[in-house]
Amino acid sequence: MMNRRDDDVFEIEVDISLVYRDAFQACYNDFTVKYVEALIERAGGNIATAARLAGMDRSNFRKVVAVAKSIRAGEEGRLTKSAPRAKASGE
């Protein structure tokens, strides 16, 4: 695990006027975009390094990047049962 830096933390706003599912989806979308952008910036634009920082293989991280790009483009991200997962310790 890396040492935590001050810029390792970001905030997500929660709109409590929304029903739970919509508020959760909005938080998921915000988190996905911010997390991906922060990792890619930290990795100097290198996707393989950003994937490693996320604990994911490059192909799955690219899927998350694609979701973040679609959210940025105004499309809704989707929560699915097959969303990429971080590697478990020891993999």
H or E segment and range at residue 64: helix 58-72
pLDDT at 9: 77
Angle, CA 85 vertex, CA 45 and CA 73 arms, to 5°: 50
CA separation for the pair 58, 11 (Å, rounded): 26
Q: How confident is the model at residue 81 (pLDDT cuts 50, 70, 90)?
A: very low
CA separation for the pair 59, 64 (Å, rounded): 9
Q: What does the pLDDT look like over 35-53, one tens digit per residue?
A: 999 999 999 999 999 999 9
pLDDT at 90: 52
Q: How confident is the model at residue 7 (pLDDT cuts 50, 70, 90)?
A: low
Rg (CA), the chain: 14
Q: What does the pLDDT look like over 9-24, one tens digit per residue?
A: 778 889 999 999 999 9
